[in-house]
Amino acid sequence: MILAAASASRVLALGAFCFAVAATPAEPSAASKRPDLLLVTLDTTRADELEVAGGGARTPNLNRLAAAGARFVRALSPAPLTLPAHASLLTGLDPNEHGLRDNGGGALPSAATTIAEELSRAGYVTVAVVGSRVLDRRFGLNRGFDIYDDRMAAERTGEFGYAERPASEVVDAALAAVTAATAVTGVTAATAATAATGTLPERPLFLWVHFYDPHAPYRGAGASERERYRGEIAEVDRQIGRLLADLRPDRQRWVIAVGDHGESFGEHGEQEHGFLLHEPTLAVPLIVQGPGAAAGTVIRAPVSIRDVAATLAGLGGLRRTRLAGRALGLRGEPEPGPIYHETDFPASTFGWSPLAAVTRGRWRFVDGPNPALFDLEPDPGESVNRAGERTEIVRELRRELRSLQSRKAMVPDAAPKDAELARALASLGYLSGASGRRGTIDPAAGLAMLAELAEVNQLVSAGDLAVALARLRDLVRRSPYSVPFLARLAYAEQLAGDFGAARAALVAALSVNSENEFLHTSLGELEREAGRPAAAETAFRNAVRSNPRHAPAWLGLGEILARSGRGGEEEQKLREAVAAQCESGAIHARLAQIALARGDLPAAELDGRRATELLPAWAPAWRLWGEAASRAGNRGAANERFARALSLGG
């Protein structure tokens, strides 16, 4: 990567650059003197929404952090997508280097080193708590963490079907995990001898807490989407305040609060994020605060959030690591260097063209079907394409972009399936995996098709299937590798009763993305409704291979097994789901039902309790749990549980 050399004073601000050699594990006594490190990642948070930046979200706790430390005004993400951006935050590598270029596919390559691995080697206790299954451990970001808490109820899903949990629960889990981790890992073989004398050194902590709340759909207070979005950010800020107050207050610590990517509200025709490479989705908050930080420092030069990993290493006293990137200086302006951006989402999900960009100083060059050059100083809204008049800058930045793109790419580790899944796909007549077809449609033009899809969804909801189907078929004709278009067409065809056409649309979608658990589950539901139980069973098995914590697939598989007289296999599979940490209230409720049917009251009691814990507002779970108490002769508990079910409308 082309990087301008930093001055010695800037390097000394954090100790040193991180060199490409392994760190030596620290002695417990040396590690205990190091500060705690807290990394807070703010999913889908625009830089300009924080109160300290003049934005509309109330963020008093982030304001205080900025007032006591350094705020980077132009922190930029390498990718407007959660998984690729977080992989960069933890490794110092750009997405085209670490290989995770979209949500939901592959796992972090074993060749990539994470900051958690380096800090763990240096004696840190390492804990992560994430707010969405977009960062599920199967994608490999759990490497190096003593505790990686990605537990959340499968039924509490967001826009894209991934389980998520609110900021309050994330903080509860983080504080509990830190207590558990420090209790378990505080005494090691190296420190056991000193424990008896009362001189046990306290190991430093690296805690990563991920807040997903600002991601759509927005549940905050307010009439407009933007107001609700701001309400979500404000709630995250409140929970950050609670975390800072309750997290080992007697320890010195550094805090880095950083966004992974931003959000669009109609700028350049984009809603939400992932399609384009402009300021609303690339510019994110970045605040660094800790002992010795110069209060109120504002750094205006553009920096990449990929440098957070090396920064954490420097703050933790690690002189040498295998991490990529360079430490951010906390005083003075860094020399402008090229910052890489990309989005593969338009290609991998819609079959359109991917985009790549480079930002250097005031200039941003976006490469795609319609290349564009923006001068961000007079035109922060990127409304004027200067490519035609500043050809020399275009040539220079294109050359720089090509150099960044030519860096050695790692191959993502395979998600846990592959060979068996490929055989199953072939047995159903699926096309071989052609995931991520690249098209020539400019994502900016493709956004108009998304507006058409929204209109079609309204037609489907209104029951006007004939018109909806005609328009969906036309969308698929114009964009034949779009998984969302094909999936919606399959749904409409199924509503119209044409199971063959619906099956063909899902098969076409799976030929584009054979790893998508949602597509496999939809196919299983289609085959079940069409009266093809064997095909449904295969589809549901493919779904759980793709994602072992996808509750709808486990439940669908269990239903097929039960209907075919294989009830014992159903329970076995649902227990496998629980063992895979599929936290599903519906699965536990079904297990309670099965236990009641065979008279196993202790098992029914346990599963009924867990179902109500995961889905406290779901009346059927309380009824089942009440039945378990009633059959056990515990009338008081039964009456309380039945009353709760009635109060919930069941």
Rounded-to-integer distance, Cα 334 and Cα 300, Å: 9
pLDDT tens readout for residues 500-512: 999 999 999 999 9
Query: Of the candidates 540, 605, 553, 561, which has an alpha carbon nearest to the alpha carbon of residue 584?
Result: 553
pLDDT grade for 401, boundaries at 50, 70 and 90:
very high
Q: What is the predicted pLDDT for the residue at 1? A: 29
Looking at the predicted structure, is the pLDDT value of residue 84 above 90? yes
Q: Which residue has the tokens 């979200």?
A: 57
- What are the angstrom distances between the C-alpha of 466 and each of 462, 476, 478, 503? 11, 16, 19, 18
Which DSSP symbol is given to 297? Answer: E
Strand pairing report for 36-42 and 253-259: parallel
Phi, psi for residue 231 in degrees, rounded to 5: -65, -35
**Cβ–Cβ < 8 Å for 21, 233:** no
Q: In this predicted structure, what is the pLDDT of residue 184?
A: 60
pLDDT band, residue 191 (cuts 50/70/90): very low
β-pairing, 271-272 vs 19-20, is unpaired
Q: What is the SS3 assignment for 89?
A: helix
Identify the sign of the CA torsion 515, 517, 518, 522.
Answer: positive
What are the tokens at 150?
Answer: 């990605």
Is the pLDDT reported for residue 498 higher than 60?
A: yes
Q: What band does 202 get if pLDDT is binned at 50, 70 and 90? A: confident
Number of H helices and number of E strands within the chain? 26, 19
pLDDT digits (tens, 9 = 90+) for 89-114: 999 999 999 999 999 878 999 999 99
Tell me what pLDDT residue 16 has.
Answer: 28
Range name among 319-323, 465-469, 613-617 with the lowest pLDDT average: 319-323
**Of the candidate ranges 186-195, 536-545, 599-608, the one whose mean pLDDT is the lowest:** 186-195
Rounded Cα distance, 368 and 344, in Å? 11
- How far is it, in rounded angstroms, from Cα 207 to Cα 247? 10
pLDDT for 650 equals 78
Question: How much is the average pLDDT of 549-575?
Answer: 96
> Cα dist. 548→414, 481, 492 in Å?
14, 26, 28
Grade residue 201 by pLDDT with cuts at 50, 70 and 90.
Answer: low
Q: What is the pLDDT of residues 11-24, one digit of tens each?
A: 223 332 232 223 33
Number of residues assigned to the chain: 650
pLDDT exceeds cutoff 90 at 388: yes
Q: At residue 25, does pLDDT exceed 60?
A: no
With 60 as the cut, is the pLDDT of residue 416 above it? no
How high is the pLDDT of residue 140? 96
Q: Say what angle helices 533-546 and 517-529 make with each other, to 10 degrees.
A: 170
Asked if 18 and 335 touch (Cβ cutoff 8 Å), the reply is: no
What distance in Å separates the CA atoms of residue 39 and residue 90, rounded to the nearest whole number? 10
Average pLDDT rounded to a whole number, residues 77-83: 98
The pLDDT, as a whole number, for residue 215 is: 95
Q: Name the average pLDDT for the chain.
A: 89
Distance CA 7, CA 24 (A): 27
Task: Please give the pLDDT value at position 49.
Answer: 97
Coil, helix or strand at residue 298: strand
d(CA 39, CA 569): 43
Q: Tell me, what's the pLDDT at 414?
A: 63
pLDDT of residue 159: 73
Asked whether the bond before 533 is cis by omega within 30 degrees of 0, the reply is: no
540 Cβ contact list (under 8 Å, min separation 6):
520, 521, 524, 553, 554, 556, 557, 560
Asked whether the predicted pLDDT for residue 266 surpasses 70, the reply is yes
The pLDDT score that the predictor gives to residue 418 is 41
Identify the pLDDT of residue 330: 85
- Cα separation, 236 vs 222, in Å, equals 16
Q: Using the 8-state DSSP alphabet, how is residue 329 labeled?
A: P
Mean pLDDT of 620-643: 97
Q: How many CB atoms lie within 10 A of CB 63?
A: 17
Identify each DSSP E strand in 103-186 by its residue range: 125-129, 147-149
Task: Tell me the C-alpha distance between 393 and 386, whole Å.
Answer: 10
How much is the pLDDT for 292? 84
